[in-house]
Amino acid sequence: MKDYQKRAPLPEAMKAYAGSGALAFHTPGHKQGLGAHPLLKERITPEGLREEVSLMTELDDLGHPSMCIKEAQDLAADLYGADAAYFMINGTTGAIHTMLLSVLQPGDTVLVPRNAHRSIMGGLVLCGARPVYIQPEIDVRLGIAMGLTTDAVQAAIAAHPEAKALVAVYPTYYGVASDLKALAALVHAHNMLLLVDEAHGPHLPFSSALPAEAIACGADMAALSTHKLLGSLTQTSMLLVQSLRVDQERVRQTAALLASTSPNYLLLASLDIARLQMAESGSRLMTRAVRLAEGIRQAVNAMDGLWCFGSEYMGRPGAAALDVTKLTVQVSALGLTGAEAEHILRWQYRLQCELADAYNVLFIISMADTMREASILEGALRCFARNYRRPVPLALPTVSLPAAPEVRMTPREAFFAPAETVSFTAGIGRIAAEEITFYPPGIPVLCPGEEITADTVQHIRSMAAVGLKVTGPQDTSLGTIRVVRKGQICTRAN
C-alpha cells in the first residue's frame, strides 16, 4: 500500500474539530450529542455524536472541496485509478443522476439498456435526454437478464449515430459482466461516452479473480455503490470520472446542485474509511470472499435440487465474466419459486438473501464474511434442499420480451405531462405515464413516454398470470394504468 493511502483525512478533521474545545452555537440541533434522545445515543457513540457536525471551516465544503474532503476524494480516485472521485451521500441514485445530468442536455440521444435501474429513468427525467433502449441478452435457463452485446450496441449506433453516450450496467445485480472493454472501444470510436452503472462493482479492483473494474475497462464515468459491497454506511456511494472526454468542472457543479448543502459527515467519513480499509486490506479480504464463495458454490452444486452457476457458465452473449461472490441459487428443481425459498430460509433458517425472483435466490458474499458465515449458509441450504421439495418440479414461465414500444415522448416530457388513469385495455394506443416491470427478468416492459400496444398489453397480462412480481405502476393489480392525457404534444424519437 502506498504510504499516502494510510490516512483518512475526513475522520481526522472531524476528530480534530470535536476535540478543539469550541462551544457549539451552531447546527445540528442536538449540539454534539448534548440534547440527543437516549434512543439516538444508543445507536451512535458519544464520540460519533460529538463529530456529527458540518459547515465548519476546517471541515471543508462538499460542493467545492479544497481541504479534507478534496484530499479524501483524491485518495479514492488514486485507489480506483480514476482522474477524479466524488463522494455521494444520496446513494448511487445521486451518482447516476449526477453522471447523466453532467454530460447530457435536453434533446440529446442516449443509448440505454432495457434492464437499467429506475435511477437511470429518473436521471433521464432530470436531464431531458431522449433514450434509445437496447435489449440485453436474456438467459432462459436462469430467467434473468445478462449484459449488452457489442452487436446490439453496434446496431443501435448505426440507427442513431447522433447518440452522445451509452449507459451500461456492469456488472448486473447477479454479477454478470459484459465485455466492457469492447463496448468502450466501440462507443469511443463513434465519439460517444461510456457511462457505467457499476453499483455492484466497488469491490472488483481488489481481486484478480473478479471482472476488471469499469474505469480500467475504459469507462468515462462509473457510479459505485460503496455501501453495497464495501464498508461504508448505507446511502453512500462514489462517482468516478476519467477526464479525457468529461468536463470535471461540470461534474462538480452538477454534484453540488443535486447534493445536500448540509451533508452528514458521518456518512462522508464512512466513505473515506471504506477506502482506507480497502487500501490496507482489500486484496486479503476479497481473496477470502472469493474463496468462501467458490467453496459454497461447489457445495451447492453437490446438493440435489439446487444449482448455482459459476464462471464456467460465462463466455456466452452478454456474459463475458462473472463476479463469483454473487451466488445465484436456482431452486425451481425443488418445485419452489424463489419467493417461497426466500420465505422459508428467512423464517425457518434465519437467513436473509439479497433478492428472490421466480427461479432463484441470490446471496452476496462480501469482504465481511468469514468461514463461520459460509458454513452456516452452506448447512442451511443443505437442510433446506433435503426438507423442502414438492413432488412435481416447478413449471417455469417462459422468459421473453415483446418488441420495444415506440418512444413517443421523452421520460421528462411524460413525467411533466398531465396524466389520467384509464382501464388497462383502454390504454392501448395511448402514451404510458408510468413504468411496468416484472421480476424476472427485471426489464421494464413499458417505460414512461412509450406507446402502449396490444402486444405489450398481452405480454404484460401473460407475465402477470404466472405470478411474477409487478413493480412500477400505481395499480400493481394492473386493472388500470396511468397515461398521458390526450391532447399533449408528442414527439417521435425513433
In sequence order, the β-bridge partners of residue 481 are: 422
Q: Residue-wise over 361-379: b if at least 16 C-beta within 10 A, else e?
A: bbbbbbbebeeeebeebbe
Q: Of 381, 387, 390, 386, which Cα lies nearest the Cα of 335?
A: 390
What gap in Å lies between CA 139 and CA 152, rounded to an integer? 16
Place of cell 479544497: 66
Q: pLDDT (tens digit, 0 to 9) for every residue of the chain, 494 residues total?
A: 788 999 999 999 999 999 998 998 898 999 999 999 999 999 999 999 999 998 888 999 999 999 999 999 999 999 999 999 999 999 999 999 999 999 999 999 999 998 888 889 899 999 999 999 998 998 988 888 899 999 999 999 999 999 999 999 999 999 999 999 999 999 999 999 999 999 999 999 999 999 999 999 999 999 999 999 999 999 999 999 998 999 999 999 999 999 999 999 999 999 999 999 999 999 999 999 999 999 999 999 999 999 999 999 999 999 999 999 999 999 999 999 888 999 999 999 999 999 888 789 999 999 999 999 999 999 999 999 999 988 876 666 665 666 778 889 999 999 999 999 999 999 999 999 999 987 656 678 898 999 999 988 988 887 787 667 788 899 999 999 999 998 766 554 44
pLDDT, position 442: 67
pLDDT, position 394: 67
8 A C-beta contact, residue 330 and residue 308: yes
Q: Of 305, 308, 335, 336, which Cα lies nearest the Cα of 322?
A: 308
| pTM of structure | 0.93
Q: Residue-wise over 194-232: b if at least 16 C-beta within 10 A, else e?
A: bbbbbbbbbbbbbbebbbbbbbbbbbbbbbbbbbbbbbb
Phi then psi for 139, rounded to 5 degrees? Answer: -90, 110
8 A C-beta contact, residue 337 and residue 259: no
pLDDT, position 494: 41
Domains defined for the chain, CATH in brackets: 282-387 (3.90.1150.10), 411-484 (3.90.100.10)
pLDDT, position 493: 45
According to DSSP, residue 334 is labeled G
